[in-house]
């Protein structure tokens, strides 16, 4: 398959995968974020690898794009992936699987929101954060595969992508999180 054949194949698969995303679930997540914003609550995001980058990108879009020069209340959002020093301290001194949950224990309050992103749906540090968030009265949203993993069963609002193809998953995670963010930007 030539390079143009590969590109067509990849993009066709991505378009088919995007068609399998449930927009009503994304609307539920938008409502949860709007409610948190209006009640002066904090939104947290987390993930590993590419999902960590998506979690961080959401903060940029929400804190700047969703707040700057807006008449509505400002959005308060923090990515639990952004303090490399904190993450590596927990990973080295305790265990990597507690790197997100221990940060939540410092900040999270009932009514806050956690957006957890995991391609496999089985990342132990993400699952521990979701478990704590659920037990602490946070609203939990999860971007993950529809084809396995524990995350989709643990979160209150699952944003599911019907594939295990990591490239398509991350492309769709970006698309879904952009919809979440642009609901407050536009």
pLDDT in tens, 88-108: 999 999 999 999 999 999 999
Question: How much of the chain exceeds pLDDT 90, in percent?
Answer: 92
CA 60/CA 44 separation, integer angstroms: 12
Residues 159/143, Cβ–Cβ less than 8 Å: yes
Give the integer Cα–Cα distance in Å for 154 and 43: 18
**DSSP β-bridge partners for residue 182:** none
Here the tokens at position 159 are 């944003």
List Cβ neighbours of 168 (8 Å cut-off, separation of 6 or more): 13, 14, 17, 161
The CATH number corresponding to 3-185 among 3.50.50.60, 3.90.1150.10, 3.40.50.720, 3.40.50.10490 equals 3.40.50.10490
pLDDT of residue 2: 57
Q: Average pLDDT of each block of 10 consecutive residues along the chain (186 residues)?
A: 80 97 98 97 98 97 91 92 97 98 97 98 98 98 96 98 96 96 92
Look at residues 126, 132, 127, 125 and name the one whose alpha carbon lies nearest to residue 110.
Answer: 132
Domain boundaries, the chain: 3-185
């Amino acid at each position: 398959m030539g390079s143009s054949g590969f590109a067509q194949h990849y993009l066709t698969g991505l378009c088919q995968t995007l068609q399998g995303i449930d927009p009503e679930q994304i609307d539920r997540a938008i409502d949860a974020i709007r409610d948190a914003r209006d009640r002066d609550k904090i939104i947290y995001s987390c993930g590993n690898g590419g999902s960590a980058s998506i979690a961080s990108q959401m903060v940029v879009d929400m804190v700047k794009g969703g707040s700057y020069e807006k008449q509505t209340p400002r959005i308060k959002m923090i990515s639990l992936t952004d303090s490399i020093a904190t993450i590596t301290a927990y990973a080295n001194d305790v265990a990597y699987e507690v790197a997100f949950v221990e940060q939540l224990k410092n900040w999270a309050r009932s009514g806050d929101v956690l957006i957890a992103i995991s391609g496999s749906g089985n990342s132990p540090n993400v699952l521990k954060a979701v478990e704590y968030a659920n037990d602490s009265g946070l609203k939990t949203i999860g971007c993950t595969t529809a084809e396995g993993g524990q995350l989709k069963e643990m979160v209150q609002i699952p944003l599911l992508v019907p594939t295990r193809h990591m490239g398509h998953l991350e492309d769709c995670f970006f698309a879904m999180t952009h919809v979440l963010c642009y609901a407050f930007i536009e």
